Amino acid sequence: MSRSEYEDLRTAFTAAVSHELRTPLARLVTLLESAELPGTDLGELLRKAREEVDEMTELVDDILFLSELEQGREVVALGETEAAPVLRDIVAEREERAETAGVRLELRLEDETLLVPLRRRMLRTVAENLVENAIRYAGEGATCVVSLRAADGEIVLEVADDGAGVPEEDAARLFERFFRSDRARTTRGSGLGLAIVKHVVEAAGGNVDARGAKGRGLDVRCVLPSA
């Protein structure tokens, strides 16, 4: 990449970050301005204000983490991790949140002893982002299946749901920073989760792809070299 191309990319990224932060910040200002109106429910106002602060914090954290990954400050494929306990913890930790969203989580482990060529933190980062994505966007009544298996000398981590899905033409773009399909545009989230997943998986020598169709769910598959 030439210097001019890098500067263009940096400028576009900075503009995108500014745009993404502006929305929750504007909502927060509106909430604070309404605090002085008669009859305002201050408890509800504070709850909504905290949600906006949490959204901005998540966005900033994701931006910093992605920046660290891209600058090589995080060693992704250092050592290996037994995946089953990590995936089991992640699903258990999010069952209540999934239930609130009307999504059923299911874990399928073909082999309890499978190792993945990722640090524990990196594996958690990948799996958490995939499961969070399904909980946020699959829609009420959907089932999300988290699975891990060995296939042809590789390890396949897959998170698939049968929910709202995305237009087929959007599936390949889900890993772009800040890209949101139609349903996702009205839902909270940093817009960086799947970009982080792609970076981690590819840095570990693997690949990731998404398959989906409107009304027919979304299937995100990470293929990693066998540890």
Question: What is the pLDDT of the chain when averaged over all its residues?
Answer: 81
Which uninterrupted H or E stretch holds 147?
A: strand 143-151
Nearest residue to 20 (alpha-carbon basis) of 51, 48, 57 = 57
* pTM for the predicted model, two decimal places: 0.69
- Write out the DSSP string of 62-85: HHHHHHHHHTT-S-TTSS-EEHHH
Banded pLDDT at 179 (limits 50, 70, 90) = low
Cβ–Cβ < 8 Å for 224, 152: no
The token duo for 94 is 């999010």
Q: Give the homologous superfamily in CATH for domain 81-225.
A: Histidine kinase-like ATPase, C-terminal domain (3.30.565.10)
Beta bridge partners, 221, equal: 158, 209
Mean pLDDT for 179-183 is 54
The token duo for 40 is 């305002």
pLDDT reading at 178 higher than 90: no
Mean pLDDT for 29-37 is 81
Q: Return the amino acid letter for 104.
A: R
Nearest residue to 193 (alpha-carbon basis) of 137, 150, 143 = 137
| Architecture of domain 3-70 in this structure | Orthogonal Bundle (1.10)
The token duo for 201 is 């998986």
The token duo for 56 is 């901005």
| 26 burial type by CB count under 10 A (0-12 exposed, 13-18 middle, 19+ buried) | exposed
Residue extents of the structural domains in the chain: 3-70, 81-225
Banded pLDDT at 71 (limits 50, 70, 90) = low
Distance separating alpha carbons of residues 51 and 147, to the nearest angstrom = 31
Mean pLDDT for 65-80 is 69
pLDDT reading at 74 higher than 80: no
Banded pLDDT at 155 (limits 50, 70, 90) = very high
- Which 3 state secondary structure label does DSSP give 116? strand
pLDDT reading at 59 higher than 50: yes
Q: What is the pLDDT of residue 186?
A: 43
Pairing of strands 81-82, 115-116: antiparallel
Mean pLDDT for 161-177 is 83
Share of the chain above pLDDT 70, in %: 75
Q: Return the amino acid letter for 96.
A: E
User: Which DSSP state fits 210?
Assistant: E
pLDDT reading at 52 higher than 90: no
Distance separating alpha carbons of residues 165 and 170, to the nearest angstrom = 10
Banded pLDDT at 177 (limits 50, 70, 90) = low
Distance separating alpha carbons of residues 136 and 103, to the nearest angstrom = 9
Distance separating alpha carbons of residues 11 and 18, to the nearest angstrom = 11
pLDDT reading at 163 higher than 50: yes
Handedness of CA 11, 14, 130, 111 (dihedral sign): positive
Q: What is the pLDDT of residue 19?
A: 56
Banded pLDDT at 185 (limits 50, 70, 90) = very low
Q: What is the pLDDT of residue 168?
A: 79
pLDDT reading at 90 higher than 50: yes
